[in-house]
Amino acid sequence: MIKNRASELEIKLQGIAEGMKTIKKDGLERAIEGVTSIGEVMRVAFSEEEN
């Protein structure tokens, strides 16, 4: 995909299709399990959108 100059979105969607978890999904699952807090997930995962 990279060799064919796929966009960042195309690469992300292909990764998800192949089983990759996004940091948001993984974080929310861990918050539900009690491993971390929603606040920590929000701070880390959702701040990526600004970058």
Residue 33 lies in a domain: yes
DSSP 37: -
Residue 2 lies in a domain: no
pLDDT in tens, the chain (51 residues): 878 889 999 999 999 999 999 999 999 999 999 999 999 999 998 885 644
Contact 41, 31 (CB under 8 A): yes
Residue 11 lies in a domain: no
Q: What's the confidence (pLDDT) of residue 48?
A: 57
Q: What's the confidence (pLDDT) of residue 2?
A: 76
Task: Write the CB contacts of 44 (distance below 8 Å, at least 6 apart in sequence).
Answer: 23, 27
Which class for 27: exposed (0-12), middle (13-18), buried (19 or more C-beta within 10 A)? buried
pTM for the structure as a whole: 0.69
Based on the structure, what is the number of domains in the chain?
1
Residue 45 lies in a domain: yes
Residue 29 lies in a domain: yes
Phi, psi (deg, nearest 5) at residue 2: -65, -40
Domain boundaries, position 31 = 21-51
